[in-house]
Amino acid sequence: MDTLADTTLLSLDALSLARGRADVLDNVTFTLGRGQTVGLIGESGAGKSTIALAIIGLLRAPQVALRGSIRFDGVELTTLPESEYRRLRGNRIGLIFQDATAALNPCFTVGAHLAEPLSRHLGLQARERRQRSIELLESVGIGEAALRLDAFPHELSGGMQQRVMIAMALACDPQLLIADEPTSALDVTIQAQIMELILERVRARAASAIFVLHDLALAAQVCDRVVVLYAGQVVEEAPAAELFADPRHPYTRALRACSIELGERDALVPIPGAVPGLEDLPGGCRFAPRCERASARCAQTPPLVTDGTRRIACWHA
Amino acid sequence: MLNRLFAQVGQTALVLFFVSVASFVFLKLAPGDPVSLMLGSDYNKDSYDKLFTELGLDRPWAAQYASWLGDFVTGDWGRSFVSNEDIFRLAVMQALPVTLCLAAYALVLALLIGIPAGVLSALKRDTWMDLCATGVAVFGNAFPSFYLGIVLIWVFGVGLGWFPTLGFVAPWENLLEGLWYLTLPAITLAAWYIGLIARVTRASLLDVLGHSYILAARARGEGSARVVWVHAMRNVLMPLTTTIGLQLGGMLRGAVMTEVVFALPGLGMMITAATLNREYTVVQAGVMLSGLLFVIVNLVVDQLYTWLDPRLRRLA
Amino acid sequence: MSAPRSMQVPAVPATRSGALAEGWSAVWAQRSARWGMGIVLAYVLAALFAPWLATHDPVAQAVEAAMQAPSTAHWLGTDSFGQDIYSRLLYGARLALAIGFGSVLLGMVAGVALGLIAGLAGGRIEWAIMRVVDGLLAFPELILAMAFLAVLGPGVDNLVYALALSFVGPFARTVRSDVLQVRAQPYVEAARLMGVPMREIVLRHVLLNVAPGIVVQAGIRVSIAILLESGLSFLGVGVVPPTPDWGLMIAEGRAFITMAPWISGIPGLALAILLVALNLLADGLRDALDPRSGETR
């Protein structure tokens, strides 16, 4: 077990989360090794962002009903006292939000934003904070960093704001960086830059990262492993390249078919139907109502079966 | 930002011009003849005509307005017929500071009570605490201040004897005693504002707490107290300031009533007494002064608002 | 594609009666607004039937019966002139509601007219009207009403005029900004391009669309009007004694608060409850008809 603890940074074990009557997550299990990157893929409402918030401890009891375990660097997080959890957030676990414009406080300057984790977690004094903030801004490719410290978020472009978000998330050298669709609020031209920047920063620090994405092709490019989620359940998990080359679960296949990167336009096939509401989920396989291969067997819940390097939950795979 | 300030000062100047015209027209419309009032019942045609010309009442209105405005600006506001006191001294040196002290004290009280009540109400939403705070807010907001003043005098002044019931000691001469005398009036005036502030704080805080920058602050490891009081409240200050600014009329309304109930020698008392005595020059001075005060405070609130919201600060 | 036979004004989102019913049910859906409405209704009924409900002549003085505590003869006691407080309370409700609603109605008619003219005419007329409105708004409403009363002297009708005058500004400003907003709407533009006369556009689109804002404003003002009315009477510059008026009753009982707290206490409570109910009702109206305005107005 010791060796496992050494190579594993984060492990989710049978994590279930319910909010009121809605079962947002059901039995989610996956692990993340040190220095690894994992991608969480799925449509909106699949529970990707919920996983991110659950890991960083912003969705906890009594606000939601949480079962299962989240272990981070050998520590069980679900039972961790709030005061200790606070020491992890923004310090050893960094979170990059989807929409930086909304995630930056309009009344605080960039400098004030950056200074917060630096003083809270690292205890830096004003002068060191300023020095470190400038370095951070420079490291995420913001020029004239000293001037930008006094700028308010609305005075920056969307890409700049996201860079500030990244700088903040990296301020305390986290072991784990969670990026929740970090580029989807940005212009297409800037998306690649920002993604590249995050990857480069993560690699430079030998940190681990979780990318929440909805684009399978992008996930295949930037992640070591990919976890495919559907309606709060893991339906398939595999090394990124393998999954992209040979998706086994019908849902993963459909997602791949949706991906524009695939090439020819006529290969673009929409998935029929919509993600079911989380308050009245179908029994058995949750994807069955939309699945072209659904059969009588799918009325029973398929188990997540390990097959070599991948795991899959489908009767027909 | 300066451009905005200039534009607003220009607009304010225009409004002030209309305020002065309205005040002047008011004086002209007032019944009774200033000349006969000044001469008393015993006068003849000659002395009447002489004074009429002396006062410039034979000149056209525009000229009269100009000289009136000149006098007004230079602080020559005439003398009270009743007490023969200089009206400028009466209004600006004596009454105004009293009203300002009362209003400031009440505002501080209202903020000290209203903001925590609103925050508590928002954080404990839909619990009995929220219900209580909302109930107190609704009643405080509707309770007529003059009746509340009477009740407070009755309970805390006469019944318990904690506070003096009437009278005024200038806080600038004896701070502690002055505040002690002003406490019941300030509570009376603040009651209305407490409800308003608590309600606005509650609603805005609930709105702000739903924003993702709050979640982001928590994701950086900020404690909940700091998230609420620094990150969220900084954003609540803007709607709060707007509301306080918008409700200045209510503040002045309450101040007039409160002053009369507690016999405080402020602007409200002055205007009320003058209205009862039909002393139009004094009423007019009060009207002009309160209009001026109103406009200036509005300007200040507007500037404060610009200063509080960085998004407005550098757009100009 | 065949041309339509007659040019019809494009329909506004909701029909008149439909909007009314919708607004009504939205108000009714709120518990606090229902409470407010019930209490206000009770006051209105008490005011309407005051002559039948009253046990005494509200202005009949009887020195021998002065300052009596509530009893079977005088349900809520008597004041220092021996006047029956219960009867005065009923007639006082009459006066308060009449002055409150009357002054708001008057101020509303004048303000809406000014706002409509300003918003529709534009140019110099608009400028002139709005500067007058600015002038009116530059004074706190109580001061404006007091100045007006100082000139006209006290009395019920003067009080109504004075209060109405202080309400013209807010109504005019709201209506004008609403008109400007509605005028910029594509469907008004479309109606204009179709040759529908401006008068009809105003009646059909503008007035109908600004109506909710006006109703909300009026709802808020009624409680302010009643507060101001009783306040001015309390100060002695409003209604003159012996008219049964709550403000006067409170002022009269002030001197006897330790001996006979009911003299000022009962009208004070009656006034406070009415104001709370009116506020609840106004809040309900606002939430139902004009949710955008939120708490900050």
pLDDT tens column, C1-17: 344 444 444 444 444 55
Does the pLDDT at position B60 exceed 50?
yes
Is pLDDT above 90 for C108? Answer: yes
Query: Do residues B86 and B77 make contact, with C-beta atoms less than 8 angstroms apart?
Result: yes
Sign, CA torsion C117/C119/C122/C125: positive
Contact predicate A134/A145, CB 8 Å? yes
Q: Torsion-angle region of residue A302: left (phi > 0), alpha (psi -120 to 50) or beta?
A: beta
Contact B314 A87 (CB under 8 A): no
Indicate if the pLDDT at residue B265 is higher than 60: yes
Say yes or no: C258 contacts chain B, CB-CB below 8 A: yes
CB A195 within 8 A of CB A67: no
Q: Do C146 and B271 touch (CB under 8 A)?
A: yes
Q: Do A103 and B215 touch (CB under 8 A)?
A: yes
Chain B and chain C touch, per 3+ beta carbon pairs within 8 A: yes
Ramachandran region, residue B224 (left: φ > 0; alpha: ψ -120 to 50; beta: rest): alpha
Test A121 with B213 for CB contact under 8 angstroms: no
Closest CB from C132, C150, C250 relative to B147: C250
Proportion of chain B above pLDDT 90, given as a percent: 5
pLDDT of residue B286 exceeding 70 = yes
How many interface pairs between B and C have CB atoms less than 8 angstroms apart?
Answer: 146
Residue B302 DSSP class: H
Chains B and A touch (3+ CB pairs under 8 A): yes
**Is C131 within 8 Å of B274 when comparing Cβ atoms?**
no
Q: Once rounded to an integer, what is the mean pLDDT over residues B58-64?
A: 80
Q: What is the mean pLDDT of chain B?
A: 81
- The answer to whether residue B149 scores a pLDDT higher than 60 is yes
In this prediction, residue C104 carries a pLDDT of 94
> Tens-of-pLDDT digits for all 317 residues of chain A?
444 556 889 999 989 998 887 888 888 999 999 989 999 998 877 888 899 999 998 888 778 888 899 999 889 998 899 889 989 998 999 999 888 888 999 889 999 999 988 988 988 898 999 999 999 898 888 888 889 999 999 899 888 898 899 899 888 889 999 998 888 877 778 888 888 888 888 888 888 999 998 888 888 888 999 999 988 889 999 998 888 888 888 888 888 877 655 455 555 567 777 777 777 777 788 888 888 888 888 888 888 888 888 888 888 77
- Diameter of chain C measured on Cα atoms: 90
User: Among B55-69, C83-97, C109-123, which stretch is predicted with the lowest mean pLDDT?
Assistant: B55-69
Most confident of A268-282, B166-180, C194-208, C233-247: C233-247
Chain B residue numbers touching C147 (CB-CB < 8 A): 26, 275, 283-284, 287
In order, the DSSP letters of B166-183 are S----TTTSHHHHHHHHH
Model pLDDT, residue B243: 82
Indicate the pLDDT class of residue C98, thresholds 50, 70 and 90: very high
Which B residues in the span 203-262 are in contact with A, Cβ-Cβ below 8 Å?
211-213, 215-223, 231, 234-235
Select from C31, C134, C227 the residue whose CB has the most chain B CBs within 10 Å, as the one to mutate to test that interface.
C227
Of the partner residues A53, A102, A117, the one whose CB lies closest to the CB of residue B220: A117
Least confident of A215-229, C56-70, C86-100: C56-70
Intra-chain end-to-end CA distance of chain A, in Å = 32
A2 to chain B, closest Cα gap in Å:
29
* Residue of chain C whose alpha carbon sits nearest to that of B255: C142
- Cβ-based burial of B155 (10 A; exposed 0-12, middle 13-18, buried ≥19): middle
Tally Cβ neighbours within 10 Å of residue C250. Answer: 27
pLDDT in tens, B184-222: 899 888 888 888 888 889 889 998 988 889 999 999 888
Residue A300 C-alpha, separation from nearest chain B C-alpha, in angstroms:
38
Give contacts of C236 with chain B, Cβ < 8 Å: 272, 276
CA distance C154 to chain B (A): 9
Q: Which residue of C has its CA nearest to B279?
A: C150
B310 to A106: CB separation less than 8 angstroms, yes or no: yes
B/e letters for B127-150, b = 16+ CB within 10 Å, e = fewer, are: eeebeebbebbbbbbbbbbbbbbb
Q: Would you place residue B316 in the very low, low, confident or very high pLDDT band (cuts 50, 70, 90)?
A: very low
CA dihedral B18, B20, B25, B28 (to 10 degrees): -170
| Set of chain A residues whose Cβ sits within 8 Å of the Cβ of B213 | 102-106
Query: Residue C266's closest chain B neighbor by CA?
Result: B147
In chain C, which among 41-80 make CB contacts under 8 A with chain B? none
Mean pLDDT of B104-127: 89
* Cβ neighbours of B231 in A, within 8 Å: 105, 108
Q: Which chain B residues have a beta carbon less than 8 Å from that of A108?
A: 231, 234
Give the best residue of A105, A152, A165 to mutate against chain B (max B CB count within 10 A). Answer: A105
Using a CB cutoff of 8 Å and minimum separation of 24, what contacts does B300-303 make?
A: B301/B241, B301/B242, B301/B244, B301/B245, B301/B248, B302/B8, B302/B245, B303/B5, B303/B8
Residue C107 pLDDT class (50, 70, 90 cuts): very high
Contact: B249, C140; criterion CB under 8 Å: yes
> What pLDDT is stored for residue C295 in this prediction?
38
CA distance B274 to chain A (A): 47
Nearest CA in chain B to A172: B220
Chain B contact present for C237, CB below 8 A: yes
Nearest to B220 among A99, A155, A168 (CB): A168
Q: What is the pLDDT of residue B27?
A: 74
Closest CA to B280 of C23, A215, C146: C146
A–B CB contacts, 8 A cutoff, strictly below: 73
In terms of CA atoms, which chain C residue is nearest residue B250?
C140
Return the closest-CA partner of residue A165 out of A240, A217, A101, A256.
A101
Flag if A56 and B217 touch (Cβ within 8 Å): no
Give the pLDDT band of residue B152 (cuts 50, 70, 90). Answer: confident
pTM for the model stands at: 0.80
Q: Which residues of A touch B220 (CB under 8 A)?
A: 89-90, 95, 116-117, 120, 168
Residue B63 or A264, more confident: B63
Structural contact between residues A34 and A72, judged by C-beta atoms closer than 8 angstroms: no
Output Rg (C-alpha) for chain C, integer angstroms: 23
Give a three-class secondary structure readout of C85-133.
HHHHHHHHHHHHHHHHHHHHHHHHHHHHHHHHHHHHHCHHHHHHHHHHH
Please state, rounded to an integer, the average pLDDT across all residues of chain C: 80
pLDDT tens digits, C39-52 = 999 999 988 888 88
C-alpha C220: how far from chain center: 7
Q: Which residue has the higher pLDDT, A208 or C188?
A: A208
Q: Which residues of B touch C151 (CB under 8 A)?
A: 26, 29-31, 280
Q: List the single best residue of A49, A89, A107 to mutate versus B (max B Cβ within 10 A).
A: A107
pLDDT of B42: 66
> CB–CB of B310 and A90 under 8 A?
no
Residues C295, B239: C-beta atoms closer than 8 Å: yes
CB contact under 8 A, A88 and B221: yes
Query: What is d(CA C198, CA C193) in angstroms, rounded to the nearest whole number?
Result: 11
Contact across the interface for B211 and A102, Cβ inside 8 Å: yes
Q: Determine the distance in angstroms separating the CA of C297 from the nearest CA of chain B, rounded to an integer.
A: 7
Q: In the block, which residue shows the tokens 């991110």?
A: A52
C159 in contact with B, Cβ within 8 Å: no
Taking contacts as CB-CB distances below 8 angstroms, the residues of chain B near A95 are 216, 219-220
The size of chain B, in residues, is: 316
Q: Kindly list the partner chains of chain B, i.e. chains with 3 or more CB atom pairs below 8 Å.
A: A, C
Higher pLDDT, B31 or B14: B14
